[in-house]
Amino acid sequence: MKRFKALVLAATLVASMALTACGSGSGETASTASSSPSSGTIKVGVVNNPPSESGYREANVKDMEAVFSAANGYDLKTFYSLKNDEQLQAAQGFITEGVDYLLISAAETTGWDEVLRKAQEAGIKVYLFDRMIDVDESLYEAAVVSDMAKEGETAVNWLLGQDLSEYNVIHIQGAMGSDAQIGRTGALDEQFASGKMNKVVQQTATWDEAEAKKIVESVINSGEDFNVIYAENDGMAKGAVAALDEAGITHGVDGKVIVMGFDCNKWALRELLAGAWNYDGQCSPFQAQIISDLIKGNTTASSKKIINQEKGFDAKTITQADIDTYGLGE
Amino acid sequence: MKNQTKKVFSGGLGQLTIPLVAIALLVIFNLFRDPSFFSIGIMHNNDGNIVLSGNLISIINGASELAILAMGMTLVTAACGGQDISVGAAAAIAGSVFVKILKSMPSITGGTVVLAFISACIVAMLFGTFNGTLVAVFKIQPMIATLILYTCGRSIAYWINGGATPTVSSPIISGIGSFIPGIPIPTPVLIVVLAAILFRLLFHFTSLELFTQSVGINGSAARLNGINSTFIKLLSFIILGICVAIAGTIGVSRLGLINHETLLLDVEMDTILAVAIGGNNLGGGKFKIGGSILGAYVIQMLTITLYAMKVSSTDVKAYKAIVIILLVVIGSPVVKARVSKLMSQLRTAKAENLTKGAQ
C-alpha cells in the first residue's frame, strides 16, 4: 500500500512537472516556414521570445513571419524561448545549419559573446532587434530597437499640443521598474516637475485593469478635479474609463476628460475611432521591414543602433486602415 | 444582560470580534481623517442610469469577488485544514472560458450569457474536482496540491484566449459587472448577497455545515460516524469551483475584458487573509462564512482608505501587511488566552478588593 501511494505520488509529481513545463510557454517550436528552399533564397534564423509573452511579442512574431516569407525570397527558421540558454543553443544550431543571417531578440543581455563570435567566423551577419545585448558593437551589423523614453515623449508632446488651459493629470503607472513603465513615466514626470502639468495622483496599478479602476474611483470619490488620464497601457486605460462611466463623467473627443493609453491593441484603437478615448501610443513591434531593407541593401544603417520610430494615434485622425495595419491582437 | 456584556468584553462575539473591531477601527479612523469619506452620492452614470457612488460603495462593490471567493475558501479551509492557492489562476481560466463562449456566439443575448456562465462553472468545477481529488483521495497537502494549478492556471487561460486580451461589450455584460438599469446598487454587490443567501439556505436544508466541521475537526472520527470525509472534502473544492466561476465572471464583466495575466491577480492571498481575519481556524474545523465576508470587506476598506490617503500603491502592500500582522496577532489563540486570563485575574482581584473593603 505504501509503495502504491509512493508510486501515485511520483506519477502526480511527474504530471505536475509536465504541466508546468507546458505552462511556462517555452516549448521548442523550431519550424521552417518554407519547406523547399530554392537556391536563390536568403536563409534567416530568428531567435525570439515566444509569442505567448505578450501582445507585443505576438505582433512582433507575426510581423517577422510576414516579412521574411518565401514570397519575399526568404527561408525563415525560427526559435522561441524565454530562456537565455535555450536561445543560445538554438543560435548555435542555426550557425551550424549555415544560415545567412541571424536575427536575435535575447532573453537576457549577457552570455552572447561566444556565439556571436562564432557567427562572425562563419560569415553569418547578425542583427539584433527589440533588445540590446551586452557585446562589442563589431559583433553585429545593426540593432533595431525601441527608445522607450521616446514613446513617453511622443505622448506627452501630443498632450501639450492639445493646449488645455490647465493639465490635472491622473497618472496610472505600469509595474514599477519595467522598461515600459520607466519610458512612459519619464516625460510626464518632467512636466510635473516643471509645473506645467499638475499631478492629481500618480499610482501604479501594475498593469492591472481592476486596480486602475479603483485608483480613479478613489480620486472621483475625493471630489478632486482632473481632466487627463494618462494610463501606461490600454487595459489600465479601460479600467479608468469604466470608473468614469460609472460616475457619469464624459471622456474622449469633446468629453471632459482626455484618455490616453499605450500598446495600440486593436480594441483600444476602435475606442479611439469611436471617439471614446483620445490617444494611444505604441512601442512599435515592427522591426522586420527595417531589417529586411538592410539585408537587401535597400537602405544602409547610419549607425549601429537604429531607433525604431514610435507611433501615436490621435482619435481625431485615426482611420480603420490604421487599426488593421498597426493594431495588436484582434 | 450582564452576562452578555461580559461576553462582549472577553471577545464574546466569538469569531466575529476581530473583523468587527477592525471595521469599527477603520470607520473611526476615517471619520477623524475626513468625515466626507463615507458620504454617498446619487448621480447619473454615462448610460443615463441613476446610481449610488462614494467610497462606501467602492468598498462594498470592489470586495465582491474577494467576498465570494472567501465564502468558498472558508468551506475548503474548514473541511481540509488547508487552503486553495489556485483560485486566482482558476478564475482566470473561468473568465477566459466565459469570454471564449460568448465570442463564439453570433450575438450576445441573455441565453448565451447564461450558457457561457454555465460553461465557466463546469470548467471551474472540473478544476475544483482535480484539486479536490489530489487533496481528498491522495491526501496531498492542499497548498501543495493546488500549487500545480497555481503555477499553470494562467498559462491554460492563455491558451484559451489565444494569447490576446479579448474584449466583449454588451449591455448585458456591463449589467453584470456594473449596474442594471433602474437599480442604483452595483450588481456585484447583489450577487454577493445572493451567494450569501444561497449558502445560508444550503446550510439550513442540508447537514453540510455540521459534516464539514466534523470532518475538519477529526476526519477519522467523522468517518467512524458514517460521514464520507473524502466526499465532503471533494465537495468543498467543487463548491469553491462555483465561487471561482462567479468571481471570474464578475471580474471579466466589470471591464468587458479578459487579461489572463492580471485578472484577480494575487487574490488567493487576500482570500486566505479574509478567511483568517474572519476568525476562522486555518487548521480546519469550526467556521463562520459571515466572518470571512466581513474579512473581505476589512481588506477592501483598508485598501480604499490607503488610496484615499494617496498612499503610493507600491507602499499600500506594506501598510496592509502591518495592519494585518496586528489583526492576526490579536486574533491568535495565544493572545486570546492571555487576554482572557488577564481579564479573569482582574476580576478576581476586584472581587478580593471588594471583600476586603467589606471587612
Q: What is the mean pLDDT of each run of 10 residues along chain B (359 residues)?
A: 46 75 92 90 89 93 97 96 96 96 93 96 98 96 95 92 85 94 95 97 95 93 93 97 98 92 91 92 91 95 91 84 83 84 88 71
Pairing label, strands A31-32, A74-80? antiparallel
* Among the listed residues B153, B237, B163, B182, the one whose alpha carbon sits nearest the alpha carbon of residue B51: B182
In angstroms, the CA A23 to CA A77 distance is 24
Coil/strand/helix, residue A281: strand
Contact B313 A204 (CB under 8 A): yes
Q: Domains for chain B: give ranges and CATH numbers.
A: 2-345 (1.10.3470)
A31 or A313, higher pLDDT = A313
Range A81-105 average pLDDT? 92
pLDDT tens figures, A262-274? 989 999 999 999 9
Q: Which H/E stretch holds residue B91? A: helix B87-104
Predicted pLDDT at A9: 55
According to DSSP H, which parts of chain A are helical? 2-23, 55-67, 84-97, 113-121, 148-160, 179-194, 209-222, 234-247, 266-273, 288-295, 320-326
In angstroms, the CA A263 to CA A269 distance is 9
In angstroms, the CA B197 to CA B189 distance is 13
Measured in whole angstroms, the distance separating CA B198 from the mean position of its chain's CA atoms is 15
Best of B138, B158, B257 to disrupt the A interface by mutation (most A CBs within 10 Å)? B257
Q: Do A31-140 and A148-284+314-326 share a fold?
A: yes
Single-letter amino acid code for the residue at B195:
A
The Cβ of residue B204 has, within 10 Å, a number of other Cβ atoms equal to 9
Question: Which residues of chain A make contact with B43, given a CB cutoff of 8 A?
Answer: 247-248
Predicted pLDDT at B16: 86
- Quick check: A288 and A67 in contact, CB under 8 A? yes
Contact A9 B303 (CB under 8 A): no
For the four alpha carbons of B216, B218, B220 and B221, in that order, the dihedral sign comes to negative
Cell readout for B122 is 463546469
Q: Give the rounded percent of residues in chain A with a pLDDT score beyond 90.
A: 63
According to DSSP H, which parts of B169-288 are helical? 171-177, 187-205, 208-217, 219-224, 229-255, 267-277
Cell readout for A91 is 543560435
Range A138-146 average pLDDT? 91
Q: What is the CATH number of domain A148-284+314-326?
A: 3.40.50.2300
Predicted pLDDT at A28: 41
Contact A52 B165 (CB under 8 A): no
User: Any idea where the domains of chain A sit in the sequence?
Assistant: 31-140, 148-284+314-326
**B176 Cα to chain A: minimum distance (Å):** 13
Cell readout for B272 is 486566505
Cell readout for B102 is 460568448
Contact A204 B314 (CB under 8 A): yes
Cell readout for A283 is 512601442
pLDDT tens figures, A40-79? 789 999 999 888 777 788 889 989 999 999 999 999 999 9
Bridge partners, residue A265, by sequence: A328
A316 or B317, higher pLDDT = A316
List the single residue in A20, A202, A215 with the smallest CB-CB distance to B307: A215
In angstroms, the CA A59 to CA A23 distance is 21
CA-to-CA dists, residue B285 to A320, B93, B214, B277, B296, angstroms: 60, 30, 7, 16, 20
Coil/strand/helix, residue A104: strand
Measured in whole angstroms, the distance separating CA A330 from the mean position of its chain's CA atoms is 16
Confidence check: pLDDT of A15 > 80:
no
Most confident among A7-16, A126-135, A249-258, B274-283 (mean pLDDT): A249-258
Contact A25 B46 (CB under 8 A): no
pLDDT tens figures, A185-238? 999 999 999 999 999 999 999 889 999 999 999 999 999 999 999 999 999 999
Predicted pLDDT at A176: 87
For the four alpha carbons of A16, A19, A25 and A29, in that order, the dihedral sign comes to positive
Sole residue written with cell 491577480: B265
Single-letter amino acid code for the residue at B242:
I
A29 or B233, higher pLDDT = B233
Question: Which residues of chain A make contact with B152, given a CB cutoff of 8 A?
Answer: 19-20, 22-23
Best of A217, A241, A254, A262 to disrupt the B interface by mutation (most B CBs within 10 Å)? A217
Residue of B nearest to A329 (CA): B164
Cell readout for B314 is 507600491
Q: Which CATH superfamily is domain A31-140 in?
A: Response regulator (3.40.50.2300)
The Cβ of residue A189 has, within 10 Å, a number of other Cβ atoms equal to 16
List the single residue in A210, A218, A242 with the smallest CB-CB distance to B307: A218
Confidence check: pLDDT of A30 > 60:
no
